[in-house]
Amino acid sequence: MHISEGVLSGPVLASGAILTVAGTAIGLKGLDYERIAGAGMLSAAFFVASLVHVPVGPSSVHLILNGIVGLLLGWAAFPVILVALLLQAVFFQFGGITTLGVNTLIMALPAVACYYLFGRLIRKGGPATTFAAAFACGFVAVLLAALVAGAALMFTEEGFFEVAGLIVGANLPVMVIEGAITGFCVAFLKKVRPEMLPVP
């Protein structure tokens, strides 16, 4: 779901950069020393998962894993996703440097939202509730990312409305896959490392 360079307007790029700097500052402030290794592994997982992508107009469709990143890290999802996207932009030309702020916001803002929406339910729910909430977390994280990407395009030019709709539609299968992956990962973590799950 990377937005390429040369697509977005200056005000949208500036707004994305400012919001990403703010989110990253909050995330770094709350990132405990003990969680740095785990954050690095999640950044690597995000990096690898989103390398395989299918271009769709000015954006692309690929696995994201922002739901589980947000669920496990909260606001720290901002610096984790920022680092992964920076490396992708530098080494593989996915997205770009000028769109780094907007692309980070597209992925990280839904991740943080899902942390607050589903974290407590996952932590305190039974097995069935945990899986359902984790599935919803993965699904909603991608849905919100597609909507934020669509909003960035529409704020650039009203003619991008159809492209924004295409982004949401094209990512529907990804939403289901991400939901299933998040559900199984969270169910496993709750059995072996429940302390990793959040308490918003």
Identify whether 37 is part of a domain. yes
Look up residue 71 and give its two tokens: 């669920």
Q: Say which residue the tokens 């989110």 belong to.
A: 23
Identify whether 2 is part of a domain. no
What global pTM score does this model have?
0.86
**147-181 residue pLDDT tens:** 898 888 888 876 666 776 777 777 788 899 889 99
Most confident of 80-84, 164-168, 190-194: 80-84
Identify whether 4 is part of a domain. no
Beta partners for residue 59, in sequence order = 56
Per-residue HEC secondary structure of 83-142 comes to HHHHHHHHHHCCCCCCCHHHHHHHHHHHHHHHHHHHHHHHHHCCHHHHHHHHHHHHHHHH
Count of domains observed in the chain: 1
**35-79 residue pLDDT tens:** 888 888 888 888 887 777 666 555 556 788 889 999 999 999 999
What is the reported pLDDT for 15? 93
Q: Which domain holds residue 140?
A: 10-196
Identify whether 155 is part of a domain. yes
Identify whether 90 is part of a domain. yes
Q: Say which residue the tokens 């890290």 belong to.
A: 73
Identify whether 3 is part of a domain. no
Report the CATH number that the domain containing residue 135 is assigned in CATH: 1.10.1760.20
Identify whether 1 is part of a domain. no
